[in-house]
Amino acid sequence: MTDRRFGPKGWTPEHLGSLAGKTYLVTGANAGAGFEATRVFLSKGGRVMMLNRNADKSNTAIATLKQELGSDVDVAFVHMDLAALSSVREAAAEVLDKVPRIDALICNAAIAQVASQQMTVDGFESQLGVNHFGHFLLCGLLFERVEESRGRIVVVGSNAYKMGRKRIQFEDLDFDEKYSAWNAYAQSKLAQMMFAYELQRRVHAAHKNVEVQVCHPGASRTNLLMDTASTFNKIVWSMLSRLIAQSAEKGAWPEVMCATEEGLQRETYYGPTKRAQTVGPIDACPLEEVALNREAAAKLWALSEQKTSLSWSP
């Protein structure tokens, strides 16, 4: 039985006090759950640095937030395209220059169900490249600043981790053999979660002042599939999401909780707890063993260091 801590209503932003003086970094914050999380942080007095790939969308998002919450809210963006390791390096350097403390780095951005196999400029299958390798590099480059701030790293996973092949295909990482949009997305989210739990174990063993948490938004009405999925999958999801999904706002709450709440547990997966963990009160969800596989996680870590040319021992 999974431990439920937050009662029948689950965690909601009502649990938040003032976030004045706190700084949150959110990847992919111009839309969907990342945008909604930004809105919550700002509404409680926090500062947000968005890490986004599109300047126009970022400026529009910032204008919307300022119009709604007041022109003095502290929100800005740094350009970062997770599909290019050089862009992640440039963004991390800019963050280190501009952001003196990081209370939480939230790895929220993702692409999903990319219809046909596509490769990033660095030669990775696009979902693994954007969702996992890009974030791995970003976390590694910002880790010391997070630690100096006694901050957190929050990785946004997905129930997809347990729905694809449920393994990292080390022998065919890019799905050259037989590409499947669903399996490649599922692998990328499993990789993100395996990485996060491995980081959590390494940080704990090394007594570092960084908390690592893993969450998921359940099924939320966002743009996630709209740029990348096949036409068929887009139509199916746009119909299905009206019936089974919750708002993007509620989808953001688990990441806000993981960035702020005290007393969260290790090796735990936070998100909506009802209807196969797609909607409902936010709390600890069941976590399948595959995400905690230490052997695969250690192999993935070594591979990620090699692929991103980053030597990282937290």
25 lies in the binding site for ligand NAP (CB under 6 A): no
How far apart, in whole angstroms, are the C-alpha atoms of residue 302 and residue 306? 6
Count CB-CB contacts under 10 A for residue 241: 16
Residue 254 in contact with ligand NAP, rule: CB under 6 A: no
> Could you tell me which stretch among 67-75, 106-114, 202-210, 257-265 binds ligand NAP (CB under 6 A)?
106-114
* Token pair recorded at residue 285: 């969800």
53 near ligand NAP, judged by CB under 6 A? yes
Residue selected from 11, 24, 34, 213 as contacting ligand NAP according to rule CB under 6 A: 34
Q: In this complex, which beta carbon is closest to ligand NAP, that of residue 244 or of residue 298?
A: 244
Site string for ligand NAP, 66-85 (x = CB under 6 A): --------------xxxx--
Instruction: Report the distance separating Cα 123 and Cα 4, nearest Å.
Output: 42
Minimum distance from residue 131 beta carbon to ligand NAP (Å): 7
75: nearest Cα among 133, 24, 14 = 24
Shortest distance (Å) from residue 6 CB to ligand NAP: 20
Q: Which of residues 200-239 bind ligand NAP (CB under 6 A)?
A: 216-217, 219-220, 222-224, 227
Other C-beta atoms closer than 10 Å to the C-beta of 175 total: 18
Distance CA 288, CA 155 (A): 17
Assess whether 185 carries a catalytic annotation.
yes
* Of residues 118-177, those binding ligand NAP (CB under 6 A): 130, 156, 158
Q: In the sheet that 23-27 helps form, which strands lie side by side, from edge to edge?
A: 75-79, 47-52, 23-27, 104-107, 152-156, 211-215, 269-274, 279-285
Nearer to ligand NAP, 47 or 250 (CB): 250
CA-angle at 120, arms to 118 and 123, nearest 5°: 95
Supply the minimum distance, in Å, between the C-beta of residue 164 and ligand NAP.
13
- Residue 184 contacts residue 175 (beta carbons within 8 Å): yes
Would you count residue 191 as binding ligand NAP (CB under 6 A)? no
Q: d(Cα 130, Cα 234) in Å, to the nearest integer? A: 20
Catalytic residue among 24, 161, 179, 185: 185
Give me the residues that bind ligand NAP (CB under 6 A), please.
27-28, 30-34, 52-54, 57, 80-83, 108-112, 130, 156, 158, 216-217, 219-220, 222-224, 227, 251
Active site residues per annotation: 185
